[in-house]
Structure 1
């Protein structure tokens, strides 16, 4: 057996340690607007001093950080402020589950739970990176999809309303089946045509560019059957610094009876009938 270096021994004697437990990822599906509980249970609740809930795509900011027996908002991502809490701040039986309120599609992602436990040792603390004790992928379904039917040639308004007490930085209307997918991209107080699908150039506008009361509805002019599809309205809010899906609308454009083929066909039939009459009179 190889001798263990004294420096390594001193490192192993620590005041605080993270708990290393492998975490099989779970998947939770929720509807927009629901409150969701992401379950996490530590092996020992007696010496928990820190609870961290994080999401990798948020970089250094936490979903929730609990230490000194209270929530710490300083390094919390803005989109989760006043929307998260521990299910039990007493952490009985090691319960450090997260409650996430009023979820939206912007909450989609993988959430990881970590804890920091106190160890009564004499030597200095070593900073050890921990594996999560729980890893949960949350998938939030978009709001109930609405349906709108319009006749070819009409102007159509697709209704979308964002929270009226939040500052809107960007409005996106998109159709996932198109490339590029943007029907309308509104930012810096004007429509950005750079990534707009060509079929919508000069045919779309916001109903109110001032976005009063959160109104970000889309006006789509002179619709045709090729405009049939699912339109998604998303906004980027200054407060949360994240995109939030507001509504999905399925637009179906129909051709009125007789508009295509009907009147033209009638003219052709009359012309043919007249020709036949002319031929008959010649005989």
Structure 2
């Protein structure tokens, strides 16, 4: 009687998470991703984009064929990244649109070795007295009529900035300090453009803004942005 032994090999994929904050207008920002071994492929991606690839490198070099056009000529890695294990991504001229969650997925011999999540917060700075500021958010989530979109100001004094959804009274749901000052673009559910327009920003509007898309209590998409509103310089 022959006996067969089945060996089950479990591959452990390591996970790491970081948060990086930077001001809009700086020359570049570094998104960290490191492993302690040489690898064959690394993919930087953003799942909230239709074309998810931010940067791709394999043993033949950087591959731009499927790279999201928004990141063309704006991303780079160390020349010896695959050999050294330092897979950090340099992103040039970051803007508030770059705010979001980036995923660094590392492969060795075709197998998923490591995943690192980097939450990038690019702070946009405006001065009191400007007419308005745009907090951008475009999503590829399935935006049917039964979803609810909620913009909130985070922190110790959380405020509802805007609520959008079927049958909702948006002005009633807002915190009183935002009534008449916030709106979204036309047909947001059709376009997926959930950007927030904040009129007449003041210093108290400074903080971290989170836009969350819900359906039946489940989160479909989320965006985190940071705004700094400075006082108008006094003229002596």
TM range (shorter): 0.5 to 0.7
Match of residue 138, structure 1, among 120, 144, 147: 120
State the alpha-carbon separation in 1 of the partners of residues 101 and 64 from structure 2. Answer: 20
Q: Which residue of 1 aligns with 2:54?
A: 63
> 1:31/1:113 Cα in 2 relative to 1: closer, same or farther (>3 Å)?
same
Judge conservation of contact 2:131–2:200 (CA < 8 Å) in 1: no
Structure 1 segments (4+ residues) deviating >6 Å: 247-252
CA shift at 1:41, angstroms?
Answer: 1.5
The normalised TM-score by structure 1 is: 0.45
Judge conservation of contact 2:102–2:120 (CA < 8 Å) in 1: yes
Q: Which residue of 1 aligns with 2:107?
A: 116
Q: Does the alignment pair 1:43 with 2:23?
A: no
State the alpha-carbon separation in 1 of the partners of residues 115 and 55 from structure 2. Answer: 15
> 1:68/1:94 Cα in 2 relative to 1: closer, same or farther (>3 Å)?
closer
**Greater strand content:** 2
State the alpha-carbon separation in 2 of the partners of residues 58 and 131 from structure 1. Answer: 23
Q: Which residue of 2 aligns with 1:158?
A: 131
Q: Which residue of 2 aligns with 1:24?
A: 16
Q: Which runs of 5+ in 1 are unaligned?
A: 13-18, 119-126, 149-156, 161-175, 186-191, 196-226, 232-244, 253-283
State the alpha-carbon separation in 2 of the partners of residues 117 and 131 from structure 1. Answer: 6
State the alpha-carbon separation in 1 of the partners of residues 45 and 200 from structure 2. Answer: 40
Q: Which residue of 2 aligns with 1:124?
A: none
Alpha-carbon RMSD across the aligned residues, in angstroms, is 4.2
State the alpha-carbon separation in 1 of the partners of residues 229 and 76 from structure 2. Answer: 33
- Aligned positions, number: 159
CA shift at 1:251, angstroms?
Answer: 10
Judge conservation of contact 2:132–2:201 (CA < 8 Å) in 1: no
Higher deviation after alignment, 96-105 or 21-30: 21-30
Judge conservation of contact 1:158–1:249 (CA < 8 Å) in 2: no
Q: Does the alignment pair 1:83 with 2:74?
A: yes
Judge conservation of contact 1:52–1:66 (CA < 8 Å) in 2: yes
CA shift at 1:85, angstroms?
Answer: 0.5
TM alignment of 1:5-20, pairs within 5 A: 20=12
**Greater helix content:** 1
Larger Rg: 1
The secondary structure found in structure 1 opposite 2:21 is strand
CA shift at 1:177, angstroms?
Answer: 3.7
Alpha-carbon deviations, 1:74-127, whole Å to 9, x = none? 1111111111010x1212531111001111111111212122223xxxxxxxx6
The secondary structure found in structure 2 opposite 1:40 is coil
